[in-house]
């Protein structure tokens, strides 16, 4: 049973990445070389190849569609600005995702300073029940499931920034621990620790809140 659950969890995470973005590393090195030389078409190609992933990370980090779009724009502007600093032979995607995470941290910080609550701004209006649950005859089960999804979404937004970044990349984007470490500029051991801590917090948060709601009814 545990093995089955773990398998479901892993399958959900690993099926996330968009297939068209998984280009070979030398594909990007050639494009980066051209973009550096002033080829704007090459830069557009880089955007086309990576935008889905960048937007996805930004959306999961910020929980808001508009913020995700603004963050993605900022990411590409920074990439363009610092393209000359990118060393040949380095992992371009790792570099790009590191910039993405940094931009998301900056956006979250600005939002916090502006005094707006990040949890309240999550795009819950777009919540749609999964097809198998939506087609269910039991409306109570559907409502319960929707409530659980809402809880888990809030829980992610309440995590500390570093743990959230590690969890988003590892569990939601399906990166390996080593890839996450490269993207975050830390060690795999640190990533494992952050991800483990984040999972514990999410489980505890969901458990506490569901208990509280259960007793209040």
Partner 1 sequence: MRSLSCRRMGRMIPLYVAGDLVGGWEREAAEHFATCEGCRGLAEEFAESGSLLAEGWARQEFDAEFYDRIRSAVLAEITPDRRLSRPPLFGRRWIYAASFGLALTVCGFVFQQVKRLQPEAPQGPGSISQVNGQLTLGPETKSPSSSPALPRESVRGIVGQEARSRERGATLERTIHSGGSASSLSGSASTSDITRIEIQTADPNIKIIWLADRASRGSKAINRNEYKEANDRN
Do 181 and 190 form a contact (C-beta atoms < 8 A)?
Answer: yes
Min CB(122)–partner 1 separation in Å: 10
* Residues 6 or more apart whose Cβ sits within 8 Å of residue 119: 63, 154, 157, 158
- Judged by beta carbon, residue 66 or residue 115, the one nearer partner 1 is 66
User: Half-sphere exposure of residue 96, counting CA atoms within 13 Å on the CB side?
Assistant: 25
CA separation for the pair 51, 57 (Å, rounded): 10
Nearest to 31, CA basis, from 13, 18, 50: 50
- Judged by beta carbon, residue 84 or residue 115, the one nearer partner 1 is 84
Binding stretches for partner 1 (CB under 8 A): 1-2, 5-6, 8-10, 12-13, 16, 18, 38, 40, 43-44, 47-48, 51-52, 55-56, 59-60, 65, 69, 72-73, 76-77, 80, 126, 130, 148-150, 152-153, 155-156, 167-168, 170-172, 177, 192, 195-197, 199-200, 202-203, 206-207
Min CB(87)–partner 1 separation in Å: 21
Do 57 and 101 form a contact (C-beta atoms < 8 A)?
Answer: yes
- Judged by beta carbon, residue 30 or residue 200, the one nearer partner 1 is 200
Nearest to 180, CA basis, from 5, 7, 13, 3: 13
- Judged by beta carbon, residue 57 or residue 89, the one nearer partner 1 is 57
Min CB(104)–partner 1 separation in Å: 14
Min CB(115)–partner 1 separation in Å: 25
Do 31 and 42 form a contact (C-beta atoms < 8 A)?
Answer: yes
- Judged by beta carbon, residue 15 or residue 137, the one nearer partner 1 is 15
Min CB(4)–partner 1 separation in Å: 8
- Judged by beta carbon, residue 53 or residue 113, the one nearer partner 1 is 53
Tokens found for residue 16: 């996330």
Tokens found for residue 199: 């999972």
Min CB(92)–partner 1 separation in Å: 17
Do 36 and 84 form a contact (C-beta atoms < 8 A)?
Answer: yes
């Amino acid at each position: 049973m545990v093995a089955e659950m773990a398998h479901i969890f892993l399958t959900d995470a690993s099926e996330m990445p968009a297939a068209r973005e998984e280009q070979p590393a030398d594909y990007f090195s050639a494009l980066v070389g051209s973009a550096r030389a002033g080829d704007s078409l090459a830069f557009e190609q880089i955007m086309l190849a990576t935008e889905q992933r960048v937007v996805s990370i930004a959306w999961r980090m910020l929980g808001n569609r508009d913020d995700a779009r603004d963050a993605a724009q900022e990411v590409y502007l920074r990439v363009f600005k610092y393209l000359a600093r990118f060393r040949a032979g380095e992992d371009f995607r790792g570099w790009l995702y590191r910039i993405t995470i940094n931009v998301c941290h900056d956006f979250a910080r600005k939002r916090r300073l502006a005094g707006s609550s990040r949890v309240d701004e999550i795009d819950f209006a777009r919540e749609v029940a999964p097809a198998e649950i939506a087609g269910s005859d039991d409306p109570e089960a559907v409502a319960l499931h929707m409530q659980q999804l809402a809880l888990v979404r809030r829980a992610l937004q309440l995590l500390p920034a570093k743990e959230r970044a590690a969890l988003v990349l590892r569990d939601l984007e399906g990166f390996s621990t080593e890839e996450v470490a490269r993207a975050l500029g830390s060690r795999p051991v640190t990533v494992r620790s952050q991800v483990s801590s984040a999972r514990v917090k999410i489980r505890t948060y969901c458990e506490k809140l569901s208990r509280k709601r259960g007793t209040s009814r």
